[in-house]
Structure 1
Amino acid sequence: MANNEKVKPIGGPPSDVEHIKSESNYLRGALVETLSNPITGGLPEDDNRLLKFHGSYMQDDRDLRNERERQKLEPAFQFMLRVVAPGGVATPEQWLV
């Protein structure tokens, strides 16, 4: 039977990442609100760190980086997803699910 007590860290205080995870409502954080924001394509640092536990990584498009800096625009953010595909094959229909 599980109890709701937090586990105390062994060997010192928890790292920044462990603190973010423990305060994130089971790795949910504010991801829904953040990803729904039409104003920016970026994420706050805490949400970016949480997203890694879901297999997604935010990065900016290096090919557009210098031009967007000259135009004083935010980076052109894109996301890389880490997925597992049985046999290494995914059909186009499976990508749309």
Structure 2
Amino acid sequence: MEILFAPFGLAIGFPVLILLPAALFAAGWWFRRRSKLVLATAMAWLAYFGWELMIHRLSPGADIRVDLLLIAPLLLVLSVISIVLLAKGTRNQ
């Protein structure tokens, strides 16, 4: 279970890294498959970037992040489904 949340620990230290999955899903939406879910995943990662910047600025010493108990599983599920959709769209072409 810890391996699933490891990327979020890295993103907390370096919030700019959150833009990478946002950009990848946006590119996947633009070039591969114009699925609303893939676009929603890119936007969710972008919203998480804004949230993380706000948390980083307002409470930089926050050790316990209860918000990640909701955010991390949601982003993981959206990401996995979007990756499957993108892979399925690539195979059909």
Larger fraction in strand: 1
- Shorter chain as denominator, the TM-score bin is under 0.3
TM-score (norm 2): 0.25
Relative contact order, higher structure (CA 8 A, sep 6+): 2
Structure number with larger C-alpha Rg:
1
